[in-house]
Amino acid sequence: MSPYAYGEIATPFLNYKVSSRILEANSPFAIMRIERAIRSEMPELILDPEGRFEKLMYHIPWLQDRYVPFGEGRYQRQD
């Protein structure tokens, strides 16, 4: 079953193809925009089929404390 089946959209980055310009950018503006979106919504689950979230955690260290990997390309929020 698709992980999207019962979830709710929590950030504006659901479609990777549409969001790739922001998600692939290493500019401070792009990182700040992603951080703001995650912080405001604090999604329970982050799906990362492209493998970008680990690199993002390097730039936004508090994500390492809040999200743990489980399975390939999936991160679960720790409360």
Instruction: Note the pLDDT tens digit of each residue in 2-55.
Output: 555 555 555 656 655 656 666 666 778 888 888 888 898 898 888 888 888 888
Do the domain assignments include residue 67? Answer: yes
Specify the pLDDT at position 48.
Answer: 85
pLDDT band at 62 (very low <50, low <70, confident <90, very high): very high
CA 69 to each of CA 4, 18, 28, 63: distance values in angstroms, whole numbers, following the listed order: 17, 24, 25, 11
8 located within any domain: no
- Show the domain range for 33: 16-77
Residue 48 phi/psi, 5-degree rounding, is -135, 70
pLDDT given for residue 67 in this prediction: 95
pLDDT value at residue 31 = 86
Which is more confidently placed, 24 or 63? Answer: 63
* Integer Cα distance of 35 and 59 in angstroms: 9
Question: Does 64 reside within a domain?
Answer: yes
Domain count, the chain: 1
